[in-house]
Structure 1
Amino acid sequence: MRHLSRPRLLVRAARYAADDYSRSRDLKRILRGPVPLRPASALHKLVEQEQMLHEAKTIQHASYSAIRHVETLAALIGEHRLYAATHSQPQPSRPSLSLV
């Protein structure tokens, strides 16, 4: 996600929208199809969709929708957060010390 270079306003709007992102509510509508079971699969589809939106924006295509772009980026951020949360390395447990 760090390699994406997008306009600051677009990214700020997407980050704000990502705070309200709900996978069960939003992903089917944004992907316009079935919801992938795994966040990694959803991320792949969202990256492809976002790249198409970015290209449409770049060439100023009439079909470009800034709202759709923000929604897609917000879902991308939300799915990335979910993926990171489920794939984080567990911290080794430290023995607890107590004073007697």
Structure 2
Amino acid sequence: MGVLTRRFGSRQPTPVQVRWQDGEPVEFQRRPVRRGPSFLVTDVRERWIEESPWPFPSPMPVGGDRIRCWRVLARSSGDLERPAEEFVLRMRAGPGVWDLIRVDD
């Protein structure tokens, strides 16, 4: 494995574009696929905040990165007959920076 492959390997988790309303996610679509299926959130199962320390030493008495997380049930908008699948959506501190983790059964 080359140095660049290790350093710039595939991104995990998947980046997504999320539409939300009243502080809750209501629809999401994987990026960079612009014309791929979107998913409609049918239920929010759990909410929590993850905190990670800064990856570098800092003299400032500030916490690390705060990540808001939602465990949701969602259906593909292209096939509403299929049962809902479980996903975890994570929003980093910056606006519009979302990650998606598919929960395996």
Shorter-normalised TM range? under 0.3
**TM-score after normalising by structure 1:** 0.22
Bigger CA radius of gyration: 1
Indicate the structure whose relative CO is greater, using CA pairs within 8 Å and at least 6 residues apart: 1
TM-score (ref. length: structure 2): 0.22
